[in-house]
Amino acid sequence: MSNNSITGEILDEILDNLDKSMQNKLFEYKDRINDWEGMKKTLEGEHGMRLETLLQQKGSMFIHLDQEQLSIVNTRKKELFINLENTYKEV
């Protein structure tokens, strides 16, 4: 594994942190954004920025995610947004 790659364990840690961060953002924005589509767009932007920041904090100057890791990220993102939508509808 090269210096600009990350391990699966670190990726899991990053995605766990990201899930918690996005849950917090949902509650932070819930009083200002009153429809799910608007909330989803806002959170998707936050998700991308936060993921990039977390990857940079854990790795070297440039982080390369291979296809398998990108697939994991995309799957986790889909699951996260299903959970966020359900939470949004409950609050």
DSSP state string for 1-60: --TT---HHHHHHHHHHHHHHHHHHHHHHTTT--SHHHHHHHHHHHHHHHHHHHHHHHSS
> What's the pLDDT score for residue 1?
46
> What's the pLDDT score for residue 61?
56
pLDDT digits (tens, 9 = 90+) for 30-50: 999 999 999 999 999 999 999
Judge whether residue 4 has pLDDT over 50.
yes
